[in-house]
Amino acid sequence: MRQVVLDTETTGLAWDRGHRVIEIGCVELLARRASGRRFQRYLNPERDIDAGAQEVTGLSREFLADKPLFATVVDEFLEFIRDAELIIHNAEFDVGFLNAELSRLGPGYGRIQDYASVLDTLALARERFPGQRNSLDALCRRLDVDNSGRELHGALLDAQLLAEVYLALTAGQGDLALVVAEPETTSMAAIAMTSDPSRPRRLLKASPDECAAHEQRLDRIDRASGGSLWRRLFS
């Protein structure tokens, strides 16, 4: 499955009052692993930025004055997210702003939902942790995601943090990294080695570091899912 973790920064909190997108940040996941592909653009909003937004993002109208307009990058952006599942925290906010930007370009661009499906991690977090704070910072702390570098909000940084939060939030037994790639060919000698009950078996033991890493992984799964199958079966 192809997923794109997305975040935006904006001039204010209300797209229906004329506020605009000033940064888009995306990271791509393939089969729940970062592919290394990303999309990030600063945008000229052609308007002032609210003081609160400027304080949390560190972005000013002067800095954005020579950046491209949304109309300039829209085709590249839509191609990046096309046919993906978008992973967004508080998706209503970001999708509302992006749809407002698309509407300014005319009806031919449609809506974000015409290009990709949307999964809201805020809704996932509220189901998993009802009654608790479920901001991105709160989830980073709860799920042991290092956000120490998040002094200011940035769309690409927040998308990268959200990718880690999403993977921890939805961690299952398939994320234990215990799957070994199968060889392209298997010799008859190798088959004989594994099938002959009289042949001595080599016992491999995990190192202390490997055991510690394994326990840390199980701790993350316990916090995210309420208990790992591994510990229920083998503890």
Separation of alpha carbons 106 and 108, rounded Å: 6
- On the CB side of 69, how many CA atoms lie within 13 Å of its CA? 8
Selecting among 19, 89, 153, 214, the annotated active-site residue is: 153
Residue 158 CA to residue 149 CA, distance in Å, equals 10
Residue 153 annotated to the active site: yes
Residue 89's closest CA among 171, 34, 7, 4?
A: 7
Distances (CA, A) of 157 to 63, 93, 116, 161, 178: 18, 18, 22, 6, 29
- The burial of 98, by beta-carbon neighbours within 10 Å (0-12 exposed, 13-18 middle, 19 or more buried), is given as buried
Active site residues: 153
